[in-house]
Amino acid sequence: MKGIERKRIDISTKGIQPIWTLVTVIVAFLLIASVFLYFDGFSSEDSDSLVLYSGRSRELIENLIEDFEDETGIEVEVKYGSSAEMASLILEEGEDSPSDVFYTKDPAGIGAVQPRLAELPDDIVEKVPEELRSTDNDWVGASARARVVSYNTDAVDEDELPDSLWGFADEEWEGRVSWAPPNGSFQSMVTAMRSLWGEEETEEWLKAIDDNDPIDHYSSNTPQVQDVGAGEVDAAMVNHYYLHRLKEEHGEDFPVANYYPRDGGPGSMMMVSGLGRLNTAENEENADEFIDYLISEEGQEYFTSETFEHPVRQDLDLDTPEEVPDLDEIDYPEVPMEDMDDLEGTQDMLRDLGLIG
């Protein structure tokens, strides 16, 4: 038996006194505990801080937040995720939620937490045009974005592209089109469709495209546009600004262009990102300051120059980047803001069709 032969049996009392072992263990536990607490515990109760739950990706708004921090000295702690996930978390956390501000990609996301939003001060709300904010003055849009079809310019001529999104259900587009049903912006588009086309037609469209073998292993927009550039996908239903950001990254000969469907339907609808303060916020003033910053000249300039989005403020003299068409050049549909709130209905429809969940 190996055990006895090989081990030196040491039972001298000069070994570690067991009481010390116990003490060491306790001390270790205490040390660990204090590190835990120190590491993150109470910092959000500082007066110069802010907790932001963001449905927009870190890539897009990191620098904006840094600019805000530099300007105001307020430290921002951010939790990133999808708009729906963040909404879900806020609702789950309930009154004890540490978040002060909720920043979503689209109206539906912020609509989901409507009961938890606080009314914003008039001087903030009035800066934003009525059609780009909540009817109850509890959230504002920070930037506007269009739905588009990003397509591969090597494989597709613009003339070939159908007038409306319905065209992509045709045989000739089989297996060439991508979409991302779990994505917040897509769901907002579907919400708008339900308002513009009605429930039945929207459902039929969803089924028609789904039957046409779409490329659907995506949850977000960026990889779709990347894959359009790589030739994996011919046409992707995404938001307009990804193209411009990727062109910056890959260079001007990135073979992708944006198409705004000619029929002016939901394929080219305008969506605002949503920004609101939670009624359970601890840092109310800082929250308002953040919201104000995003709709101030500096914030709006960030959107036009860094993320290629449209500003919501019409009164400021801001240049839309040249690559991006001006708002008045885009034929987008009018969708009443109150219709844009119903994320639940959209998710139910998508879930029933087996497109999500």
Partner 1 sequence: MRLEKFAIREKLERVPLPVWILGLAVVVAFTIPIVYLVVRALEAGTETWELVFRIRTLKTMGRTLALVVAAPLLSLTIALPLAILTTRTNLPFRKTWSVLTVLPLVLPSYLYAFVLISSFRSDGLLGFLRYDIYGFPGALLCITAVSYPYLLLPMRASLKGMDFSLEEASKSLGHGHLSTFRKVTLPLLRPAIASGSLLIALYALRDFGAISLMGYETFTWIIYSNYQMPFGGRMVAAGLSLILLLVALSLLFMETKTRSKARYHSSSEGSSEPDLIELGRWRWPAFLFCGFIVSAFLIFPMVVLGYWVVRGISAGQSLQMYWGAAFNSLFASGLAALTVVLAAIPIALLTTRFSGKLSKLIEKSTYIGFALPGVVIALALVIVFVGTPLYQTIFVLIFGYMILFLPLAVGSIRTSLLQINPTVEEVSRSLGKSAGETIGSITLPLSKYGILAGGTLVFLVTMKELQATLLLGPLNFETLATSIWHTTSEAFFARAAIAALPLVLLSSVPMMILLIFWHRRGNYERISGSL
Write out the binding residues for partner 1, residues 248-277 only, by CB under 8 A.
Answer: 249-250
Contacts for 288-294 with beta carbons within 8 Å, 24 or more apart? 288/120, 288/121, 288/124, 289/72, 289/74, 290/50, 290/52, 290/68, 290/74, 290/76, 290/100, 290/101, 291/101, 291/120, 291/124, 291/140, 291/142, 292/124, 293/68, 293/71, 293/72, 294/64, 294/103, 294/142
Interaction with partner 1 in 39-78: which residues (CB under 8 A)? 39-42, 44, 51, 57-59, 77-78
Selected range binding partner 1 among 23-31, 153-161, 259-267, 282-290, rule: CB under 8 A: 23-31
Please list the residues that pair with 248 across neighbouring strands: none
Contact between 207 and partner 1 per CB under 8 A: no
The smaller minimum CB distance to partner 1, of residues 162 and 227, is found at: 227
What does the alpha-carbon distance between residue 125 and residue 58 come to, in Å, rounded to a whole number?
Answer: 26
Q: DSSP secondary-structure letter at 322?
A: T
Closest approach, Cβ 189 to partner 1, in A, equals 17
Q: How far is the CB of 1 from partner 1 (least distance, A)?
A: 8
In 3-state terms, what secondary structure has residue 290?
A: helix
Q: How far is the CB of 108 from partner 1 (least distance, A)?
A: 10
In contact, 215 and 129? CB cutoff 8 Å: no
Q: Is 354 in the site for partner 1 (CB under 8 A)?
A: yes
Question: Backbone dihedral region of 242: left (phi > 0), alpha (psi from -120 to 50 degrees) or beta?
Answer: alpha
In the complex with partner 1, the residue whose CB is nearer, 38 or 331, is 38
Q: Which of residues 146-205 bind partner 1 (CB under 8 A)?
A: 182
Give the Cα separation of 273 and 288 in Å (integer).
16
CB 340 within 8 A of CB 275: no
- Per CB under 8 A, 219 contacts partner 1: yes
Q: How far is the CB of 57 from partner 1 (least distance, A)?
A: 8
30 vs 121, beta carbon nearer partner 1: 30
Does 93 sit near partner 1 (CB under 8 A)? yes
Stretch that binds partner 1, among 21-29, 295-303, 319-327, 328-336 (CB under 8 A): 21-29
Footprint (CB under 8 A) of partner 1, residues 333-352: 343-344, 347-348, 351
